[in-house]
Amino acid sequence: MLVLGFIAAPVAMAGDPLAAGKQVYDRYCMGCHGVNGEGMMPGMPNFSLGERLDTTDRDLAERIRQGNGVMPGFAGILSDGEIDDVIAYIRSLL
């Protein structure tokens, strides 16, 4: 019975990009970008105010893959789908 719960959760997550994106954000991004995207360190964008979100998803995905300033790149760590989901999530923080 317990195993079914673990199997059902990822399936439900796959159909909900915001929930999947939040899961990725919480694991990889929240430490620097904050719980609500407010930015935890000087120079971090405040996603809740739309900072650095005035660009295309393609450009944001490239920044996430390659890194940007002090932010490390996540190419090879996050899949394209995970990157798309986290972009959808950070855009929802507005």
CA distance 26 to 78: 13
At residue 14, the pLDDT reads 57
Find how far residue 92's CA is from the centre of its chain.
11
Ordered domains of the chain (ranges, CATH): 2-92 (1.10.760.10)
Per DSSP, helices labelled H in the chain are: 2-14, 17-28, 30-33, 57-66, 80-92
CA dihedral 32, 33, 34, 38 (to 10 degrees): 140
User: Is pTM beyond 0.75 here?
Assistant: yes
Here the tokens at position 74 are 């996540």
Q: Provide mean pLDDT across the span 29-40.
A: 94
Q: Give yes or no for residue 47 having a pLDDT over 70.
A: yes
At residue 9, the pLDDT reads 42
At residue 16, the pLDDT reads 93
Residue 55 near residue 47 (C-beta atoms within 8 A): no
